[in-house]
Amino acid sequence: MAGLAFPTAPALPPVSLSEMEVAMTPLRRKMIEELQIRGFAPGTQKGYLSCVAKFARHFGRSPDELGQDDVRAFLLHLVNEEKVSHGVLINFVSSLRFLYKITLQRPWDLQTIPYPRREKHLPEIPTREEILHLLGCVRNLKHRAILMSCYAAGLRVAEAVRLKPTDIDSSRMVIYVRQGKRRKDRVVPLSKTLLEFLRTYWRAVRPQGWLFPGRYGQHLSVRVAQHALKRARLVSGLKRPITVHTLRHGFATHLLEAGTNLRTLQLLLGHASLRTTSIYTHVSTRELRSIISPLDPPEPPR
């Protein structure tokens, strides 16, 4: 970090196969390899494997012994018996499509594993004051630095925990986000307030390699950051639901309300489509406040 005297991050040693990986079934290993070849994020790989494992446990048989009718029965079980959320159901459908189309190369019509109709919900956004109060309730210096980064720069939590000291450039006042979602790099502004807090954090912790180190030479896990916010929310007394991703939503909504144009916001968030970013136009109240209801008397001319 220029101007902060952060050391250059050392190269990490290659990861070796664990005993569990060596003992895994050929089908599981092949699915992992197919996911890796296509550049799926580690979190996505883990999620796909977990969904397929649950599918296999449900029938007590290997997925390569199961067919289309079994997939349909399993999805109906998730909907009617377990009553899983829409997002969870989509994850299972995506995982099973990948398994049978790519890994097992079954000549199926993908419509036999249909995607459910997508539900549309607007995110509930806390005010700037509520978010600042929440961040102030985070006692751990490292955890507060991560959560502040998510809000100040609109980072996904997986991007924040993977930051390195060299990604913070105080001379240009930018943060370099390396290989974010869909393996894309981007640059976001560095908040002056965040910079000062990161300097305080760095002087206290002196991190090596990762800006937010965890155990065994790895970066801090996403789960730790999520738990830190959950604890802070309980301490804060805020009643509305707030997750780490809500901080990113707050960044986008509050910038939009401050006058940032939609195209700039798209680049800052790293969205592939402007349609994804446009959801914040429905959340922002700046334009809504300027609309006069037909029930109200018209304002006098100035």
Active site residues: 156, 181, 245, 248, 271, 280
Tell me the two tokens of residue 13: 């040693």
Separation of alpha carbons 43 and 212, rounded Å: 18
Interatomic CA distance for residues 6 and 209, integer angstroms = 10
Q: First CA to last CA across the chain, in angstroms?
A: 51
Q: Rounded distance, CA 33 to CA 54, Å?
A: 20
What single-letter DSSP state applies at residue 210? S
Residue with tokens 């000062």: 196
Question: Using CA atoms, how far apart are residues 31 and 10, in angstroms rounded to an integer?
Answer: 31
Instruction: Quote the DSSP letter at residue 177.
Output: E
CA dist 115 and 14 (Å) reads 38
Which of 144, 172, 143, 175 minimizes the C-alpha distance to 159?
175
Rounded to the nearest 10 degrees, how much is the dihedral formed by the CA atoms of 244, 13, 186, 41? -60
Amino acid present at 283: V
Which residues are CB-neighbours of 90 under 8 A, at least 6 positions away? 115, 116, 118
